[in-house]
A = this chain, B = another copy of it.
Amino acid sequence: MSYNTFGRVLRFTTWGESHGPALGAVVDGCPPGIALSEADIQPFLDKRRPGQNKFTTQRQEPDAVRILSGVFEGRTTGTPISLMIENTDQRSKDYSEVAKAYRPGHADYSYDAKYGFRDYRGGGRSSARETAARVAAGGVARAILPDVTIHAYVTEIGGDAINRDNFELAQIERNPFFCPDEAAAGRWEKLVDDARKAGSSLGAVVECVATGVPAGWGAPLYAKLDSELAAAMMSINAVKGVEIGAGFDAARLRGEDNADPMRPGTNAPQFLANNAGGIAGGISTGQPVICRVAFKPTSSLLIPQQTITREGEATDIITKGRHDPCVGIRGVPVVEAMMALVLADQKLLHRAQCG
């Protein structure tokens, strides 16, 4: 794995900045003969696309993906699949303020500390626009996983959580928050809009469930399925926490309440609970694989914040421009993509070792 590459046998490498001519991903190791076209990938990008409502950034990007290699006559050839998305709405903005001072909570200072300078236009490489490349790569991963279904959704915004009793998967498509609880979605409209109007922002928790994962994917110990998922999710911009199954709550359960009992099943054991989130000892159990991801509130704010300039002088900064008041919402398709990419990689890795 390199700095901008993820995966072991199915690998993808992303490139591109917020304000360059384009961004993209190269997916390597894809099995041959899989039907794949741009139409298979575009819907995932559309789901992530900005500017679709007032709850996300108003940047307008068609985010149309092009397949530049690795597909011939509608099928993958087994060679690298190059995916490219052009940047079109790079508004000619005045970035002089961001160039001069560090936005708290952003990567401005740490990039400067590491590299000596940075592409300050729209966050450069640290921009959430990079996630478009992941989502495109995730579209390829899904094609490798015809029997796996992946759904992510928002379970909490700004501390206001869904009610699990109201959980309805079909709701996810029906509101701008990918929220499975209709009532919560209703409350979030005002919550997010108020934050937006105040020039503030809100965090969110995104949950992701993959069903159809057979028992046996993953590996001890440093390629544990949960370890790969943790790396994958924590690599997404703004993510500060990852948990599998019961997660932090497992630390509050007694052993007899946390372990998932088994009863005889038809083709596989029947588990009576899924606190493990479908993974035991780093290997899938055949239960749904479940993880939860914490997104911090975006640090782009209209509320002035104390900071320093590149020269070390005290100043205040506000971040004008088009921003997501709750970046976690558009994180949903990104989390799904990373889940797909990890699972597809592990599927192939399992096949390598165990045939």
Return the CB mask of A93-114 against B: 1 if under 8 Å, else 0: 0000000001111110111011
Task: Tell me which residues across on chain B come within 8 A of A159, comparing CB atoms.
Answer: 251-252
> Which one, A53-61, A171-179, A181-189, A213-221, is touching chain B?
A213-221
**CA gap between A102 and B271 in the complex, in Å:** 12
The reply to whether the CB of A51 lies closer than 8 angstroms to some CB of chain B is no
Assess A313 versus B264: contact at CB under 8 Å? Given A220-B79, A223-B1, A240-B247: yes
Given A21-B68, A104-B259, A258-B105; A82-B15 close (CB under 8 Å): yes
Contact B295 A251 (CB under 8 A): yes
CB pair B305 A261 closer than 8 Å = yes
Copy number in this complex?
A: 4
**Chain B residues whose CB sits within 8 angstroms of the CB of A9 once the complex forms:** 2, 8-9, 349, 352-353
- Closest B residue to A131 by CB, please name it: B221
Report the nearest B residue to A325, measured CB to CB. B255
Asked whether B1 lies within 8 Å of A8 as measured between CB atoms, the reply is yes
- Given A69-B23, A110-B285: A354 in contact with B28 (beta carbons within 8 A): no
Q: Is the CB of B15 within 8 A of A203?
A: no
Contacting residue for A111 out of B69, B124, B260, B281, CB 8 A: B281
Q: Is the CB of B305 within 8 A of A256?
A: yes
Could you list 12 examples of A-B contacts with CB < 8 Å? Answer: A4-B220, A6-B222, A77-B117, A103-B259, A105-B258, A107-B283, A111-B283, A203-B252, A222-B231, A227-B232, A243-B294, A352-B352
B31:A353 contact, CB within 8 angstroms: yes
User: Does A212 sit within 8 A of B, measured CB to CB?
Assistant: no
The stretch of A40-48, A145-153, A296-304 in contact with B is A296-304
A24 within 8 A of B: yes
Least CB distance from A243 to B in Å reads: 3
A184-219 interface (Cβ within 8 A of B)? 195, 200-205, 214-219
In the assembled complex, the Cα of A281 lies from the Cα of B16 at a distance in Å of 15
Separation in Å of the A108 CB from the closest CB of chain B?
Answer: 8
Closest residue of chain B to A101, judged by CB?
A: B262
Q: Closest residue of chain B to A118, judged by CB?
A: B77
Residues of B within 8 A of A125 (CB): 69, 77, 79, 220-221
Q: A residues 6-57 with Cβ under 8 Å of B? A: 6-9, 11, 13-17, 20-24, 26, 28-33
Residues of B near A263 (CB, < 8 A) are 306, 308, 314
A205 to B247, CA, bound (A): 11
Once the chains bind, are A11 and B5 in contact (CB under 8 Å)? yes
